[in-house]
Structure 1
Amino acid sequence: MADNELSIKQVEMSESVKKIYISNKFFITLLICLSVYAVFYLIAANHVEGTEWGWLSILPTVSVLGIAIFSRRPFESMLAGVLAGLIMINPDNIITPFSDSVSSVMGDETIVWIILVCGLMGGFIRILEISSCLNGFTEWLKTKIHSRRQSTIATVLLGAVVFIDDYLSCLAVSSSVKKLTDYYQVSREKIAYLIDSAAAPMCVIVPISTWAVFFAGLLEENEVAESAQGLNLYIASIPFMAYAWLALLIAFLVGAGVIKDIGPMKKAEERARNGHPIPPDFEGSELSNKSKAKRELKMPIQLFNFFFPVLLLIASTVYYDIDLLKGVIITCVVTISLYYIQGLLSFEDQVDALFQGFNTMLYPLSTVIGGFLLKEINDQLGMTEFIIETATPYLSQITYPAIVFVLLSLVVFGTASSWGVFVIAIPIVIPIALHLDVHMPLVIGALLSASAFGSHSCFFSDSSILASQGAGCSPMAHAFSQFPYALLGAILAVFAFLGLGYMYA
């Protein structure tokens, strides 16, 4: 009886300690929020209206990074950064500007496209899963892949092959391989890193991707290239995309075990080898579920039911001028019809799966939207212009490509906008390059490398969020584990651009 009473008292004490901890954490969080508000209010109060913000423009982004590292909650961190920026702009009226910013971002065609693409991709993958086709593909892979190293190399190869769009690569490839890598006890952090490292770099390098279409059009709009010649300039810049090439090479070397696990990745791999590939801080739901197939199919039919929709997705995306939204709509319609005709899944189950896929993607999508909100605030504060103009006095023909890469990498990393930031940056960067007579394909290569690094390394960028969601780990676990490898690629890229700048001077 005494032992039982003692254990009951211990439980009561632990519960009371937990309540005190939660209460204290709430008050600490509230105190931090009030302090942050006070600091940014004072900044706004001392700012002369009509003058530029200068170095103060980077403070909201710095606060996002600091809060994210502390809280490991990317969406909440970005929301805090957005509110900090709004306080700087107008401390007496936050609600109306915030509402206007949300309305502006949610009404943007790009955001609507992202929401529909990611939601439908989530639904498509869910349909593949409940049909047992993904399981069939995994079992088939097991007959071809016989070691842990082979499974990681295969992950990089699959990510590199699906180069049409980084969203497609991050979601489809990760969902296809993670059961295989779980079997060989590979951490989900490593899968997210390998796929993310293959996604953005390959989309930059291969000139038939969404990235190539967007940037070629942007070069023509800014008269960097003549009409209908934007893609030619883009292709000429491919050999100079140093970071993309290096990131892909490093991913292959990590997958092959030549470059060893370091830092957080080493801890994640040790955990996976002990039978826990999924990190403990992953709170989201995975794009997977038990099979709802009405009958068991033979392996050849399962493989057909997997490969046909995936190949149709790629082919239809290319057919519609690299538009993944049109491709995934066609693919969902055909896949649902195919599985229904086979008597594999009911129409109701497949429609439910589409909505479940949308639901699974809600938190990643909210984080991506938060990134767009932060970018809009940074644009109002003039952060991009400040960073570029600050470095202008130190430019030369030799150092220009390297400096462009470093500066735009920082901007993209801080804003998570691997595309939108270049709408602002190109009209500033290109005239300076023309004035210094820098080899234009080299400058474009530096710009695209910066875009790839920012998309790859930023913990709240769209591709990083989707890679972590697809692989089944938290965005912060993915960010911390992959950053040393991304930083290695960036450092090597700086030296590469310095060498190329000297060669073409």
Structure 2
Amino acid sequence: MKTLADEMRMSREKLAYLLDSTAAPVATIGLSSWVAFEIGLIANQYQELGIAGQTPSAAATFIQSIPYNVYSILAIAMVGIIVVTQRDFGEMLDAEERAQRTGAVIRDDAQPLQEIKGELGEPVTDDAPLRVFVVPVVALVAVVVGGAATMGYAPGRTFVEMINNTEVATALVWGSFAMVAAGVVVGVGEGLLSLGEAMETILDGFATMLPALSILVLAWSIGAVATALGTGAYVTQFATGVVSPLLVPVVVFVTSAFIAFAIGTSWGTMSIMTPIVIPLAWEIGGNSPQFVAVAIGAMFSGAIFGDNCSPISDTTVLASTFAGSDHIDHVRTQMYYAFTVLLATVVVYLLYGATNLSPLVLLPVGVLTLVGLVYGFSELDARRKDVPAKPAATQASVRGTTGDD
């Protein structure tokens, strides 16, 4: 998409934002290894508290938490709003105005990230057939869905009962292997790589993930220490009678957001917060599994906000890398949008606490809030900077040079 974006005079900062905001927010509620990780955290805490028999399964709890993962849902909606309205504000407005006016998709003294290209080398071809991409993805989805359904199926079981009795983590392992295997078969079959080159590429890809995995292992250690020290019980004892159940989603969301921004990893934040959030929600919510799902959704929301904003987040770095954007420029331009989504998320959580309405009612309110904020902020910023809030026309070619193509 980089070449197409350049032809349309889209700034690299905008491209990095689109990549970043359709990465972690989608992965945390969609079909991904993130889901298996999140379900595992819930299951471990249920076992630690001894409440596994009093609640739905960890997988069912995760599914119930999805509508309350408000930040992730609204972050995806924000992308659609920005794309459809073509309105920008903050430093993104400056970047887009520069790109549309001069054709310079990156600023003159920018330093685009290209570490992945340096580590893995150039792509073996620029015109591979579409099936090289499609076949591995289809293999991933088909094996994960088919594997989960097979393990959870039994005559007479309802859909929820199937979820309660399946092993999502196992299905994702199968799917990951199937995706890699399909990629190797297609790549070798199309003559793009030899078998040896394919295996070397896989090992090199594993190597690029080692820093992120090291951070994750350390975060798991913090989570284990928090569990062993009874941090969740201590916070619950302190908060009971002080924090109103109406404010728990907001408190959990803001706390998780702060931690994720500071440490730069949503997975690490989830590992740290789960031993605290689930006991807190279970006690304050009157042993209500539904309230636990709400708190878990708020925790995931905060973790993804920090993931979007933190300059040391792996997904933020990768978005800058693959978009060819200056990393700090990406962080600075995206932060305006992330905080806008944060405001709308807080509104939704406060409305939920005050009304206890279904998220199916409150999420549209959040989207409308986003639309209003985008129009308001874009108009105010455009007037302040004396530039159009919306580009008059999209250009068909780039007059400037990007320096990396």
TM-score range, shorter chain: 0.5 to 0.7
CA contact (8 A) 2:66 2:297 kept: yes
Q: Offset of 1:229 from its aligned partner? A: 1.0
In structure 2, the residue matched to 1:126 is: none
Match of 1:305 in 2: 132
2:332 and 2:203 map into 1 onto residues whose CA distance is 31
Partner of residue 486 from structure 1, selected from 330, 338, 359: 338
Measure, in 1, the Cα distance between the counterparts of 2:123 and 2:344.
Answer: 46
Letter in 2 for 1:282: P
Contact in 1 for aligned 2:260/2:306 (Cα 8 Å)? yes
Q: CA deviation at 1:392?
A: 7.0
Deviations 1:263-284 (A, max 9, x none): 2212322343333334522143
Contact in 2 for aligned 1:336/1:350 (Cα 8 Å): yes
Q: Is the 8 A contact 2:184 2:198 kept in 1?
A: yes
Higher RCO (CA-CA < 8 Å; seq separation 6+): 2
CA distance in 2, matches of 1:291, 1:418: 29
Distance 2:252 2:341 in 1: 16
Paired residue secondary structure (2:265): coil
AA aligned to 1:218 is: L
CA distance in 2, matches of 1:370, 1:391: 29
**Equivalent in the alignment of 1:420:** 268
- The equivalent position to 1:263 in structure 2, one of 76, 90, 95, is 90
Alignment of 1:97-246 (within 5 A): 177-206=1-30, 208-223=31-46, 225-226=52-53, 229-246=57-74
Instruction: Give deviations 1:216-241, integer Å, cap 9, x for gaps.
Output: 23222222654871111222222222
Looking at structure 2, the residues matched to 387 and 278 of structure 1 have their Cα atoms a distance apart, in angstroms, of 47
CA displacement at 1:441 relative to structure 2? 2.5
In the TM superposition, 1:317-396 aligns within 5 A as 321=168, 327=175, 330-346=178-194, 350=198, 361=208, 366=211, 369=214, 394-396=242-244
Residue 17 of structure 1 is matched in structure 2 by none
User: How far 1:423 moved relative to its partner?
Assistant: 3.4
> Are 2:112 and 1:282 equivalent residues in the alignment?
yes
SS in 1 for 2:60: helix
Contact 1:371 1:415 in 2 (8 A): no
Q: CA deviation at 1:484?
A: 0.8
How many Å separate the matches in 2 of 1:404 and 1:292? 46
Q: Cα distance, 1:372 vs. partner?
A: 6.6
Alpha carbons of structure 1 residues 268 and 373: separation in structure 2 relative to 1, 3 Å:
farther
Q: CA RMSD in A?
A: 3.9
Correspondence for 2:308:
456
* 2:331 aligned partner, one-letter code: A
Q: Deviations over 1:332-375 (max 9, x none)?
A: 4444443444444555665675577678x48xx64775687689
Using the TM superposition, name which of 336-345 and 191-200 deviates more.
336-345
Partner amino acid, structure 2, of 1:466: L
State the secondary structure of the residue aligned to 1:302.
coil
Query: Normalization by structure 2: what TM-score?
Result: 0.64
Give the partner amino acid of 2:62: Y
With normalisation by structure 1, the TM-score equals 0.53
Whether contact under 8 Å (1:371, 1:460) holds in the other structure is no
Q: Give the deviation of 1:252 after TM superposition.
A: 0.9
Quote the residue 2:387 is aligned against. none
Alignment correspondent of 2:153: none
C-alpha spacing 1:407/1:242, structure 2 compared with 1 (3 Å): same
Distance in 2 separating the partners of 1:219 and 1:356: 32
| CA 319–186 in structure 1, closer or farther in 2 if over 3 Å, else same | farther
Whether the 8 Å CA contact 1:200–1:452 is kept in 2: the answer is yes
1:411 to 242, 249, 259: 259
Hey, what's the Cα distance between the residues in 1 that align with 2:98 and 2:202? 33
How has the CA–CA distance of structure 1 residues 182 and 368 changed in structure 2, closer, same or farther, with 3 Å as cutoff?
A: farther
1:482 Cα deviation from its structure 2 partner: 0.6
Residue 394 of structure 1 and its aligned partner are, at CA, apart by: 4.7
Residue 466 (structure 1) aligned with residue 289 (structure 2):
no
Question: Quick one: distance in 1 between partners of 2:20 and 2:281?
Answer: 31
Helix, strand or coil for the counterpart of 2:244? coil
Partners in 1 of 2:16 and 2:258 — Cα distance? 22
Q: Would you say the 8 A contact 2:219–2:272 is kept in 1?
A: no
Q: Conserved in 2, the CA contact under 8 Å of 1:192 and 1:467?
A: yes
Q: Secondary structure at the match of 2:246?
A: coil
CA deviations 1:64-107 (Å, max 9, x no partner) are: xxxxxxxxxxxxxxxxxxxxxxxxxxxxxxxxxxxxxxxxxxxx
> What corresponds to 1:446 in structure 2?
298
Structure (1/2) with the larger helix percentage: 1
Residues 197 and 248 of structure 1 are in contact (CA less than 8 Å); yes or no, is this contact kept in structure 2?
Answer: yes
Alignment partners' CA distance in 2, 1:326 and 1:350: 19
Quote the Cα distance in structure 2 between the aligned partners of 1:291 and 1:437.
52
- Once the two structures are TM-superposed, the CA of residue 313 in structure 1 deviates from its matched residue by 4.4
Which amino acid counterpart does residue 277 of structure 1 have in structure 2? V
Cα distance, 1:487 vs structure 2: 0.6
Change (3 A) 1:462 1:339: closer
Secondary structure of residue in 1 paired with 2:311:
coil
Distance 1:502 1:448, change over 3 A: same
Is residue 498 from structure 1 mapped to residue 328 from structure 2 by the alignment?
A: no
Provide the identity percentage. 30
Aligned mates of 1:255, 1:421 — CA distance in 2: 30
- Cα 1:276–1:327, aligned 2, differ >3 Å: closer, same or farther? farther
Q: Matches of 1:476 and 1:436 in 2, distance apart?
A: 41
**How much has 1:396 moved relative to structure 2?**
0.8
Match of 1:420, SS?
helix
Tell me, yes or no, if the aligned pair for 1:194 and 1:255 is still in contact at 8 Å: no
State how far apart, in whole Å, the 1-side matches of 2:302 and 2:96 are: 29
What is the letter of the counterpart of residue 205 of structure 1? I
- Matched residue pairs, number? 318
Q: Which residue of 1 aligns with 2:151?
A: none
Distance change >3 Å, CA 478–CA 373, structure 1 → 2: farther
The alpha carbon displacement at 1:426 in A equals 2.8
Contact 1:220 1:230 in 2 (8 A): yes
Residue 191 (structure 1) shift: 1.8
